[in-house]
Amino acid sequence: MKKLLSTFTALVALGFAGVVNAADLVVYTSQPNADAQATIDGFKAANPNVDVEWVRDGTPQIMAKLNAELAAGNPVADILLIADTVTFERMKAAGQLLAYKSPEAKNFDASLYDADGYYYSTKLITTGIMYNTQAAMKPTSWADLAKPEAKGLVTMPSPVASGAALIHAQTLAGVEGLGWDYYKDLKANGAIAAGGNGGVLKAVASGEKAYGVVVDYMPIREKAKGAPVEFVFPKEGVSAVTEPAAILSSTKHQDNAKKFIDYLLSENGQKIAAGLGYIPARNGIELPAGYPAREEIKLLPLNAADALKNSEKDVKTFSDIFGTKG
């Protein structure tokens, strides 16, 4: 039975703890609701005797809830499955994660999991450009969104509401020829930044906006359903988050938590990810329809240590440019 919580106070955290005491595993995730349910259903099919509770919200909100629980000395989650590795680097340094060497790791590139076994990437989620098919300009680069043809027609998520949006902003900020000046140009061109990726998808698909900065799977899915949208991997390259999973060091269900990690990384778990429209992290799994070949996707570099160190400053820089808090 899923539990959807959006009030992040220690009082609610303590109350929820009583509700899930009977659960065999508690998962906190930033996955969309349908994806989280599919993930849990797949795990339960392979482990029918494990009762799983799950909580879903954006990465910043999930972390606010978890941090409130940690401060109260009553963390509920066993598993954390969120957008980015930067958060896990912080938690690893704070001793909040449990090291586990999954036997499934041998099927992944070493860059996609922590060498000490503290967290594992489960997929690649890139951020690129979506546009409504009625738009006059068909963008091919990030620079196109700052052109006069896109004036007042661009929307994007805020790093305050989306972990992927923060990683994206930090990535482009480090690209020669883009940087924070690029975001200033977008603002001057009438771009807006607010909320999460779902709002961007809705605005562009409905025609309210012509262009959006958004995670790949959303418009690719909607196009397959007949929505008037296209997704572009800009020529400069794309940022990526890898939706890693980790076991909390405070887990009360260590064995089940290890089973969950193994399942996410397994061939079946990765095929479910691909079936949901994501680029699987595991080698040898076919990409979903609508994506180019993996080698055609240019990933822009990001130093996780620097991103961690600068995260608060970068959120403030972005918010100051766009004059928004979320």
Q: What residue ranges define each of the domains in the chain, with the CATH number in brackets?
A: 25-122+242-291 (3.40.190.10), 124-240+299-322 (3.40.190.10)
Provide the pLDDT for residue 2: 41
Looking at residue 8, its pLDDT comes to 36
Q: What pLDDT, on a 0 to 100 scale, did the predictor assign at position 12? A: 41
- Report pLDDT for 22: 62
pLDDT of residue 326: 54
Dihedrals phi, psi of 254, to nearest 5 degrees: -60, -45
Instruction: Compute the Cα dihedral for 79, 17, 55, 22 and give only its sign.
Output: positive
The pTM assigned to this predicted structure is 0.79
pLDDT of res. 126? 95
Q: Collapse the DSSP code of 235 into the 3-class scheme (helix H, G, I; strand E, B; otherwise coil) and give the result.
A: coil
pLDDT at position 288 = 93
In the predicted model, residues of the chain with pLDDT beneath 50 are 1-19
Q: What pLDDT is attached to residue 303? A: 84
Q: Is 113 flagged in the annotation as binding?
A: no
pLDDT in tens, 42-86: 999 999 999 999 999 988 899 999 999 999 999 999 999 998 888
What is 100-120 written as a DSSP string? ---GGGGGS-GGGB-TTSS-E
